[in-house]
Amino acid sequence: MPKQSTRGARRRAARAAWLPLLAAAACAPARSARPPAPVPVPVNPPDLQLEPPAPPAPVSLDAPFDAAWIDRTLATLSLREKVGQLIMPWVGGDYMAIGTADYERLRDWVQNQGVGGVVVSIGAPLEVAQKLNILQRMAKVPLLVAADVEHGAGMRLDAGTAIPSGLDLGSATKFPPLMAFGAAGDEKLVYELGRITARESRAAGIHVAFAPVVDVNNNPANPIINVRSFGADPQAAARLAAAAVRGLQDGGLFATAKHFPGHGDTGVDSHLALPVLTVDRARADTVELVPFRAALKAGVAGVMSAHIAFPALTGDTVPATLSPKMLSGLLERDLGFKGMVYTDALDMGGIVTKYGNADAAVLALKAGADVLLMPPDVPVAIDAVVAAVGRGELSEERIDRSVRKVLRFKAQLGLDRQRTVDLAQIPYVVGVPAHLRVAEDAARRALTVGRDRDHLLPVDPARVRRVLSIVYSDDGNPFEGRAFQTELRARFPGLRTALLNGATPQPVLDSLLAAADSADVVFFSPFVRVTARKGDVAVDPGVAAFARALIARRPTVVTSFGSPYLLSAFPDAGTYVLAWGAEDVLQRAAARGLTGQAPITGRLPIPIPPYLPLGAGVTVGTGAVGATK
């Protein structure tokens, strides 16, 4: 599903808007002639909630529900309203004022089209919850709300960073990506990721996690899965996937294993085009399907299909999302899955370039999908399915079967009794220190030293004084690496820093090379994110050449804050560290580990061919430079 592309476009537009003009005016408030007498405020007002609210009940396919409510509700729905229950469009998490164009568009979807739910995107926790409450109050039938919270609610419940001040506006807990948990290798830690994600998501009105990603990422050229996967070992991925499912559903959030039948061994982003999986069934049984079987055994409530073709199983290049052989056959009949089948987003290139909006909606339901995510045009998709029923291509009984699944989920969540959330409870649950401590522990344990041939680690501030830290951002983020640089500066008061991107002029790169000659140690830190519709996960060629020259001249610690496969851009790097992602907790953990403030114990959950094997990792203890590893 689309992840960061829309948000990234907004960020780039915002930067372009504020750069030409940074002036602002402020007005002092008017003073009254006589200030009012102060009103005493009790230390603990009687209505102040000092304890977090009770957690939601666990959810599962076997949880009890009010069957009578489902029957009554279904009986009130017209055919078109039934089809609407199977549609979940995308909704931004931004602030929505009543009467605006955004409000009217969403009101049409909910009240006139009768959609069964929404997929909510990025926004501040309170803004998202308030927006969802408004939509819930509009709806004839309670809405089922889903979100991509693959590595924590902070992926979506995030107010962002103010430009140009750089002020962090707050968020839910931001965990490292799943591959970092693969490096740590601890099921209990993954369970906590799921439980905390569920707790924070439910507080904001989200009911379904489009997580975990259970794809086995065994293709270094994969441009869209990458660190979103637990790793390349099917058995390890299966073990951690099951733990994630248990944590999410014990925490009250329906889990969804994705992307069926496996998106890890592809070199194409399905947001842009249709990938084709060229392996046979025997290979799929021992690799791609292993984590899905584990997720099903753990009781996962949902599975999301992938827009990928699997000719060895289907005999054609029809995407799995639209293939009865994949969904009704392999998933439901062969693997015995009885839960909710979601399509991946129907506005993705792997679908729309060939099948369009109307045909894709009909074909997905015929294939065995229950819920259609993010069709490009909601009314057109609904009308197409209604027309298909009218001409006998789909039966109304087939529609009813999927609608009953949707209503059952809503009843099991208790939405038939309470569909909105209490905004006053959110600060007691979302982004609280206890949750952040778990994220920090995960980041510390995930940090991995792939190699340290130069014996640079840990870099001891007592012995190394002249340090240059260079951060490379592949998307031009002006705040990239800020937490990492701040942590390093606290240890190296004379730290010199630089921020590069693909547009950095060559004279600037040349001057940095000259500056590096006076440094005892250089930290080179590429931030290369995996985002939808990006199509490429690599370091800019000019910056890669600069990094190779840097490594040849000075002792250099290369730390990848993102894609782990960047070693191919500068294979002579003697010290290569994996921090796995750009989240602040990972930046802080990396700075502490690299300078000997914490041990480094992670192991590669992937191979980096031809340089590092699966399971590689140098253990670095605390202490001075040259400590035993």
Q: Tokens 């889903």: give the residue.
A: 146
* SS3 assignment, position 282: helix
Residue 576: burial class (beta carbons within 10 Å; 0-12, 13-18, 19+): buried
Helices and strands (H and E) in the chain: how many: 20, 15
Rg (CA), the chain: 25
Bridge-partner residues for 557, per DSSP?
Answer: 523, 575
DSSP code per residue over 299-318: T-SEEEE-S-B-HHHHSS--
Query: Is the bond preceding residue 263 a cis peptide, omega within 30 degrees?
Result: no
H-assigned helices in 147-213: 178-184, 187-203
Cβ pair 410, 416 in contact under 8 A: yes
Name the DSSP class of 262: -
Cα(490)–Cα(483) distance, rounded to whole angstroms? 11
Question: At a CB cut-off of 8 Å and minimum separation 6, what does 8 contact?
Answer: 475, 531
Bridge-partner residues for 559, per DSSP?
Answer: 577
**Which CA distances in Å does 394 have to 362, 368, 369, 420?**
8, 11, 13, 34
In degrees and rounded to multiples of 5, residue 616 shows phi and psi of: -65, 150
Whether 271 is catalytic: yes
Tokens of 32: 């009254």
**Which CA distances in Å does 511 have to 101, 469, 505, 506?**
50, 14, 10, 9
Cβ pair 580, 231 in contact under 8 A: no
Bridge-partner residues for 471, per DSSP?
Answer: 499, 525
- Check 269, 344, 474, 540 and give the catalytic one: 344
Of the candidates 227, 615, 205, the one whose C-alpha atom is nearest the C-alpha of residue 429 is 205
H-assigned helices in 447-583: 482-491, 506-516, 541-553
Of the candidates 543, 441, 564, 452, the one whose C-alpha atom is nearest the C-alpha of residue 501 is 543
- Check 271, 416, 435, 474 and give the catalytic one: 271
Around Cβ 33, how many Cβ atoms within 10 Å? Answer: 4
Question: At a CB cut-off of 8 Å and minimum separation 6, what does 78 contact?
Answer: none
Of the candidates 299, 335, 332, the one whose C-alpha atom is nearest the C-alpha of residue 412 is 299
Cα(247)–Cα(194) distance, rounded to whole angstroms? 4
538-564 exposure pattern, b = at least 16 Cβ within 10 A, e = fewer: bbbeebbebbebbbeebbbbbbbbbbb
* SS3 assignment, position 17: helix
Cβ pair 393, 367 in contact under 8 A: no
Tokens of 561: 């804050």
Question: At a CB cut-off of 8 Å and minimum separation 6, what does 394 contact?
Answer: 362, 365, 366, 385, 388
Catalytic residue positions, numbered: 271, 344
